[in-house]
Amino acid sequence: MSDSRKISIYFDKELVKNRQNYIQLLYPFLGYPKEEEDFVDKGRFTEYVESGKEYFNIADSIEECDVVCYPLEYHDIHIGKDEFKKYCADIWDKYRKKILLFFNNDSDEEIDIESAIIFRTSFNKSNRKFNEFAEPGWSKDFICYYPDSKIFYREKSDTPTVGYCGYDDSSERGAVNQIKKLVKKALGRYKTDKSKTGIFLRGEAVRRIKRNKRINGAFIIRNSFWGMDNKIKKSVEELRAEYAANIIDSDYCIVTRGGGNFSYRLYEVLSAGRIPLFINTDSVLPYDHIVDWKKNVVWVERNDLKNIDKILLAYHSKISDEEFVKIQQNNRKLYEEFISPVGFFGNLHKIILPLINKE
């Protein structure tokens, strides 16, 4: 058994032979896969690649490891799902070793593998299994968008500023989708599409905030996820910089699920040291057995969305000037310690070791 922090892992090297789509945990050992030069989040795992060997070592055999690590994402498994379930069960039956499984995907499909320890981006708290844990969706650390990468924190003002830059149902494309939805409902043909839920939630949140004159709404509505369309003559880099500036120039930022039941924006807002105005959609958040997330965000349940402006104002009036700054600082600290690739992978022992030591 490894020491209290470092985890000894074993993985089948044949499964990643001549492949670049291995899981992010293995980047320090197998190399950082090539990224396109114009990729806006290029280099997001660089720091983890440099430090990852402090948290894991590679065992030469299954017998010597703490836990087996499946080297590909669940959506890239090398065999069928039923066969893969048996593959994991056979490892458990023969070696009594659990298997680490990562699923960075919008899907919330059930993964029924009891001998696995599953880290996934999208799933629901109401049917969460005992062996499922949240993995962040990673962007580049937004500290890079500050001048000289030096973060600053906003002072509290009487009128809170709430930011949102992105795609919602008030955009041209979103409005078309909303009309289609209403027509299908009228004809009795509408089926809930969970991937569209976030679009409508963000739109409703924006409208509620806009109507309240006691809140300064800083909204930039786009027609697509990246904001690219024929009407906007800007590069991806320019659009991304505007998106980051909207977060940095706001006290609070509207955050809710996207196509999957998780939010890249949540982690971007934390990395920028701002406060998420978080709409909960039966969400599971990283390290929720350690982190009291309600201390880091303004928490709004989905069924209370109609009161989002009132909830925000009550929160803002309750905290002192000093607490307002402290929450921003704590959010940056949370990002560094638990959400960044280094923080997340560096703390996996707090989840993995207790589970394998129970056996």
- Domain parsing of the chain, residue ranges: 7-138+341-357, 142-339
The H or E element that residue 131 is part of is none
The least confident of 83-97, 311-325, 345-359 is 345-359
Give dist(CA 118, CA 131) in Å, integer: 6
pLDDT tens-digit readout, 265-307: 999 999 999 999 999 999 999 999 999 999 999 999 999 999 9
- For the residues 15-41, what does the mean pLDDT come to? 95
The span from the CA of 164 to the CA of 162, in Å, is: 7
**Using CA atoms, how far apart are residues 359 and 131, in angstroms rounded to an integer?**
14
pLDDT digits over 107-161, tens only? 999 999 999 999 999 999 999 999 999 999 999 999 999 999 999 999 999 999 9
Q: Is the pLDDT of residue 259 over 60?
A: yes
Non-local CB neighbours of 25 within 8 Å, separated by 6+ positions: 52, 56, 69, 100, 102, 345
Q: Report, as an integer, the average pLDDT of 72-94.
A: 96
What is the pLDDT confidence band of residue 320, given thresholds at 50, 70 and 90? very high
Give CA–CA dist 235/81, Å, rounded: 41
Place of tokens 């299954």: 62
Task: Decide if 111 contacts 36 (C-beta within 8 A).
Answer: no
- Over residues 102-117, the pLDDT tens digits come to 999 999 999 999 999 9
Contact predicate 139/226, CB 8 Å: no
Integer angstrom CA distances of residue 159 from 98, 206, 208, 214, 340? 52, 16, 16, 6, 31
Cα–Cα separations (whole angstroms), residue 344 to 31, 130, 224, 242, 338: 19, 19, 29, 27, 5
Q: Residue 2 pLDDT > 50, yes or no? A: no
Q: Alpha-carbon distance 44 to 335, whole Å?
A: 13
pLDDT at 234: 84
Question: Which fold, 142-339?
Answer: Rossmann fold (3.40.50)
Averaged pLDDT, 37-55: 96
Reported pTM:
0.91
In this prediction, residue 73 has a pLDDT band, given cuts at 50, 70 and 90, of: very high
Question: Kind of pairing, strands 275-280 and 252-255?
Answer: parallel
For tokens 């905290």, the residue is 319
Helix (H) or strand (E) holding 159: none
